Structure 1
Amino acid sequence: MNARQQSILQTVIDKGRMSVTDLARMTGVSEVTIRQDLNLLEKQNYLRRTHGFAVPLDSEDMETRMMNNFSLKRELAAFAASLVSAGETVFIENGSSNALLARTLAERGDVTIITVSSYIAHLLKETPGEVILLGGIYQKKSESMVGPLTRQFLQQVHFSKAFIGIDGWQPETGFTGRDMMRTDVVNGVLEKGCEAIILTDSSKFGAVHPYTLGPVNQFNRVITDSGLAASNQLLLEQSGLHVDIVQRP
C-alpha cells in the first residue's frame, strides 16, 4: 500500500463514505487512478466499493448498505412482502433489506408497520401506509431506537410478524449481532412470541459477532438468497427453521 492509498483508506475510515470524485480531487490524481486504488484496497479487504463510493467494511450508513447488492435486496424484500396479508400489523427491524421491505409494504397501504428505525420511518413519509415509530435512546450511527424505554414500548404494541436483520450466523453460535443495544431490542421482540423471520442476504452466514440473537427456537423462518451453502441450509432446517431461497438476479 503506497502513501496515496494509505491516505485514501484513512479518509474513508474517518468520513465513513467518500466518492471517487472527491477522492480524486483530494489526492490530485485522475478518477481512473482512484478506481484502481479502490479496487486494490477492496481486494485486500480494507474497504468496500459501492456505486461510485468507497465505504469502511463496517459502515453503518444505511443508504450505502442499501445500494450494495440493491437488486438482490429488492428481490428479498419482494418475497418477504408476499408473506404479509392485507390488514396485518408487522414489526420491521433495522437493516437495508428490511428498509426495502418496509417501503414495499407501505406503498401497498394496507399494512401497519411498527419499527424502531428512524431511517425507515423517514423513508416511508410519502407512502400511504401507517407507521408506528417506537421511542427510546436514539442511536445516531444506526438511526435506531434502543434501550430500556424501547423495551417498554414493545410491551404496549402487538404484531403478527417480525422481520429481523442479522450480522452473522454460525452453527456453533446461532444468529449474532454486532451491537449490544440493538441486539437487546431484537431479543425483546422475540419475547413477544410472534412469527419471527430473518431477512438477510447470504453474506452474513459464516460470520460471527459478539451478541446472541435468540435462541434459535424463537425464530420461525429465514429468507435469504441462493448464495447460501447447501450445508448451512440443511443445518438451519435441522434447527426447525423454514428456509426460503430467493434466486440471485
Structure 2
Amino acid sequence: MNSRQQIILQMVIDQGRMSVTDLAKTTGVSEVTIRQDLNLLEKRSYLRRAHGYAVPLESDDVETRMMNNYTLKRTLAEFAATLVNDGETVFIENGSSNALLARTLAEHKRVTLITVSSYIAHLLKDTNCEVILLGGIYQKKSESMVGPLTRQFIQQVHFNKAFIGIDGFLPETGFTGRDMMRADVVNAVLEKGSEAIVLTDSSKFGAIHPYTLGPIECFSRVITDDGLNATTHQQLLDNGVQVDIVKQFPLS
C-alpha cells in the first residue's frame, strides 16, 4: 500500500463514506487512478466499493459501526425519532443507527422500547425510558440476542413501530442481511405486521448479502440520506415503500 492509498483508506474510515470524485479532488489524481486504488484496497479487504463510493468494511461491533459516519447517523436517528409519538411501544433492532435512535427516543419521548440488543439496553441504563430486553442466544460480537427463544419472545410482545437495520438492497433480492440468525430475528418482527421502518445510510443500497429480510412488501418506510440514487429511490416507491430522504451535512 503506497502513501496515497494509506491516505484514501484513512479518509474513508474517518468519514464513513467517500465518493470517487471527492477522493480524486483531495489527493490530486484522476478518478481513474482512484478507482484503481480502490480496486486494490477492496481486493486486499481494507474497504469495499458501492456505486461510486468507498465505504469501510462492515463490523459487527456496534460501537465501531457507530463511529463510522457518526454525524449522518445521528441526523437519521433524529429524523426517525420525529415519527414516534409519546405513549407508543417501539421495537428497535440491532445496529448503530438504531442505537442512536434508541438514545434519542429515551431522552426526548415517553415511550417503551423493546430490543434484542444488549448494547442498546446498556446505552439506556441511565435514562427514565422503560426498556424490555428480549432473551435468547447471546451473540457476543454484535451484542444481540438471536435464536428460537428470541423468536418466541417476539411473538409474545406487541409494538406500534419497528425500526430495522439492513446490510444490503437490490431490486431483485429486496433487503438482505449478512447474518443468518439476526435475519431470522428481523423476519420474526416482520411477521408481527406492525409498521416496519428501515433506518440506514445509503451506502447499503446496491449491496447484496446472503439472507433475505422481507419480502419487501412487509416494509412500509425507508429513512436514508441523499446519497440514495434516483433509480433505487424509484424502485422502492414502485414496491409501495415510502422513502424519507434526510439531507447530509457537507463535509468540513
Q: Give the TM-score range, shorter chain.
A: 0.7 to 0.9
3-state secondary structure, aligned to 1:188: helix
Indicate conservation of the 8 Å contact 2:198/2:219, yes or no: yes
Indicate conservation of the 8 Å contact 1:202/1:225, yes or no: yes
In structure 2, the partner of 1:221 is 221
Structure 2: segments with no counterpart, 5+ residues: 6-36, 48-55
Alignment of 1:1-249 (within 5 A): 1=1, 44-45=41-42, 46-47=45-46, 57-249=57-249
The RMSD of aligned alpha carbons is 2.2
Structure 1: segments with no counterpart, 5+ residues: 6-39, 49-55
3-state secondary structure, aligned to 1:80: helix
Are residues 235 and 109 of structure 1, via their aligned partners in 2, closer, same or farther at CA, if it must alter by over 3 Å? Answer: closer
Are residues 42 and 104 of structure 1, via their aligned partners in 2, closer, same or farther at CA, if it must alter by over 3 Å? Answer: farther
Seq. identity, %: 74
Are residues 232 and 119 of structure 1, via their aligned partners in 2, closer, same or farther at CA, if it must alter by over 3 Å? Answer: same
Deviations 1:135-174 (A, max 9, x none): 0000111100000000110111100000000000001100
Are residues 63 and 43 of structure 1, via their aligned partners in 2, closer, same or farther at CA, if it must alter by over 3 Å? Answer: farther
Indicate conservation of the 8 Å contact 1:108/1:129, yes or no: no
Distance of 1:181 and 1:102 partners within structure 2: 22
Indicate conservation of the 8 Å contact 2:58/2:65, yes or no: no
Cα distance, 1:42 vs structure 2: 10
Distance of 2:147 and 2:104 partners within structure 1: 28
Kindly tell me the number of residue pairs found equivalent between the two proteins. Answer: 209
TM (normalized to structure 1)? 0.80
Cα distance, 1:247 vs structure 2: 0.2
TM (normalized to structure 2)? 0.79
